[in-house]
């Protein structure tokens, strides 16, 4: 399992809902968590491993108890605005400022099939918004402030150039 980097097409696809939680899903979620920890990330969405399903893993220190896997997550309420500093495992070396909601309410299922309703703000709220965006093919570069977009434009072009060259091999 590897992390898919920008501008791979799968990162722009709308991911499919998970219909049934089986052993395969549980195993993949475990592997995603491992990969996230190895990569020193705090969130990872299934499309980032090349799997177009609505599943995300999140571990923001101490915030969610044992819940780290969220299936078919949806934002059901968003309030306020919050300017966050973000990075993304699919964009090595890129960080930027993104306008987010200050607090969100998320509905999702865990691996036991239990329905969760989570109210999250600050960093955790941002991670939920960032990862759920991935499931809709939306990337943090789409929502960056104009200043951050400008600051990263050259690096992004370079990613696109390298990708095209690799595709052409
Ligand atoms: Co990301």
Taken in order of first residue, the domains within the chain and their CATH numbers are: 9-168 (3.90.45.10)
Q: What's the mean pLDDT when you consider all of the chain? A: 96
**Cα(63) to centroid(ligand 1), Å:** 19
Residue 62 has a pLDDT of 72
pTM: 0.96
**Cα(22) to centroid(ligand 1), Å:** 25
Annotation marks residue 131 as catalytic: yes
List, for residues 62-111, the tens digit of each pLDDT value: 778 889 999 999 999 999 999 999 999 999 999 999 999 999 999 999 99
Catalytic residue among 20, 105, 114, 131: 131
**Cα(6) to centroid(ligand 1), Å:** 10
Is residue 100 classed exposed, middle or buried when 0-12, 13-18 and 19+ CB atoms within 10 A define those classes?
buried
Residue 62's φ and ψ, nearest 5 degrees, are 65, 0
- Ranking 72-76, 147-151, 165-169 by mean pLDDT, the lowest is 165-169
**Cα(102) to centroid(ligand 1), Å:** 18
**Cα(11) to centroid(ligand 1), Å:** 9
Taking a 5 Å cut-off on Cβ, the residues next to ion ligand 1 are 88
**What is the percent of the chain where pLDDT is above 90?**
94
Region 115-119: mean pLDDT is 97
């Amino acid at each position: 399992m590897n992390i898919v980097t920008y501008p791979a097409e799968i990162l722009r696809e709308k991911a499919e809902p998970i219909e049934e939680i089986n052993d395969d899903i549980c195993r993949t979620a475990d592997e995603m968590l491992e990969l996230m920890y190895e990569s020193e990330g705090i969130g990872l969405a299934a499309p980032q491993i090349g799997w177009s399903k609505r599943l995300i893993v999140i571990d923001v220190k101490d915030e969610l108890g044992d819940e780290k896997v969220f299936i078919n997550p949806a934002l059901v309420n968003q309030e306020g605005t919050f300017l966050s500093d973000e990075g993304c495992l699919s964009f090595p070396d890129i960080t930027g400022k993104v306008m987010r909601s200050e607090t969100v309410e998320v509905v999702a299922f865990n691996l036991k099939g239990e329905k969760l309703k989570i109210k999250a703000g600050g960093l955790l709220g941002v991670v939920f918004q960032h990862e759920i965006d991935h499931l809709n093919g939306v990337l943090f570069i789409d929502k960056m402030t104009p200043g951050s977009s400008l600051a990263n434009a050259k690096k992004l072009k370079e990613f696109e150039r390298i990708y095209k060259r690799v595709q052409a091999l």
